[in-house]
Amino acid sequence: MDMETKEGMKKYVEQVSEKNNWILNMDSNTFNNLIDGLVDNKRNLGYQSCPCRLASGNRELDRDLICPCDYASQDIKEYGACYCNLYMREDFYETIKKDYVLVPERRPAEKEKAVLDFFEK
């Protein structure tokens, strides 16, 4: 699948959600915005970095942010959705009864500091 296209990225996130027993955000505007962000990052960076976080552009430094990010599973379990709200827990719409949830940043501060150091080089 060509993840630099919107259709290809949709297929990719569908496969990810099925594999993990998650569901995808059902708000079409939000979902499409998230897909657009992922496609932009795939085209500009070469990998589908989380659209809601600042990528460094260095794949090694951004590895934990590549969608699905390293924090998605824990966030979905705890808050019902990943940081971006792209992936959601299967019962999200029945139990949480909100359009979206605000998920606090779980990425370790040291990783952000490493990105800042990278920008300064």
Partner 1 sequence: MSEIIDNLAKTVEGTEKSRDITILTLSTCMWCKKCKAWLNERNIQYRYVDVDRIEFEEKSKILNYLREKYQSRISYPFMICDDEHVVGYNPGKYEELMKSGGS
Q: What is the binding site for partner 1 (CB under 8 A)?
A: 30, 33-34, 36-38, 40-41, 51-55, 84-85, 102, 105, 109, 112, 116, 118-120
76 burial via Cβ count (<10 Å: 0-12, 13-18, 19+): buried
Length of the chain: 121
Residue found by looking up tokens 């390293």 in the block? 70
In the complex with partner 1, the residue whose CB is nearer, 11 or 111, is 111
Which CB atom, from 56 or from 89, has the smaller least distance to partner 1?
Answer: 56
**Cβ at position 60, least distance to partner 1 in Å:** 16
Query: Diameter of the chain by CA atoms?
Result: 48
CB of 70 or CB of 112, closer to partner 1? 112
Task: Return the bridge partners of 49, or none.
Answer: 66
Q: How far is the CB of 75 from partner 1 (least distance, A)?
A: 13
Supply the minimum distance, in Å, between the C-beta of residue 20 and partner 1: 20
CB of 62 to partner 1, least distance (A): 12
